[in-house]
Amino acid sequence: IDIISANIGMDHIFYCSRKIIARVGEHNVTKLEISLENELCEGNAYLDFKKSNGEKYRSQKLEIVDNVATYKIPRAVLNQEGELLVQLVIEKEGEATWESFVKKYYVQEAINAVDEIPVVEKESAFTLTDKISGKRYKIYVADGKLMMEAIK
């Protein structure tokens, strides 16, 4: 996991020196860890995202432990190359009570050399022994299906 550390204080400034947040198509590979001042830990915290095409996305409620909010960025946020705006929002009783200034990141193009993951031709198998019965089984993949057969 690629961890991006940031700080947000009561001055509303989203401090983070990193410019590129991730590559197009990644899913839960990049994690934002945002250190918050005590006052910002009261209420429900969310991240709002705005992509370069204008599409917006709101995170689930952020988990905050020891004044650090963490969020793994899903593919839904990283499905387009270009500018990505991020803003922390604190809500109390369903109302936005505090917002950080907007932080500008960039989602980088990914070089996907293949459209599909290649099928591994090499057959691989392993054995499993049931500790209760003592029976042994061979486990392998055949025609795309997981197979298990007893070993005599």
3-state secondary structure 24-87: CCCCCCEEEEEEECHHHHCCEEEEEEEECCCCEEECCCCEEECCEEEEECCCCCCCCCEEEEEE
Identify the pLDDT of residue 96.
87
| pLDDT per residue as tens, the chain (152 positions) | 899 999 999 999 999 999 999 999 888 999 999 999 999 998 999 999 999 999 999 999 999 999 999 999 999 999 999 999 999 999 998 888 999 999 999 999 988 766 665 555 545 666 767 777 778 877 777 766 777 788 87
Distance separating alpha carbons of residues 86 and 56, to the nearest angstrom: 10
Identify the pLDDT of residue 94.
85
Identify the pLDDT of residue 113.
65
Distance separating alpha carbons of residues 68 and 33, to the nearest angstrom: 6
Distance separating alpha carbons of residues 52 and 41, to the nearest angstrom: 29
CA of 147: how far to CAs of 124, 128, 129, 132, 141, in Å? 11, 12, 15, 21, 6
48 closest CA partner among 62, 38, 63, 30? 62
Identify the pLDDT of residue 90.
95
Identify the pLDDT of residue 146.
75
Percent of the chain with pLDDT over 70: 88
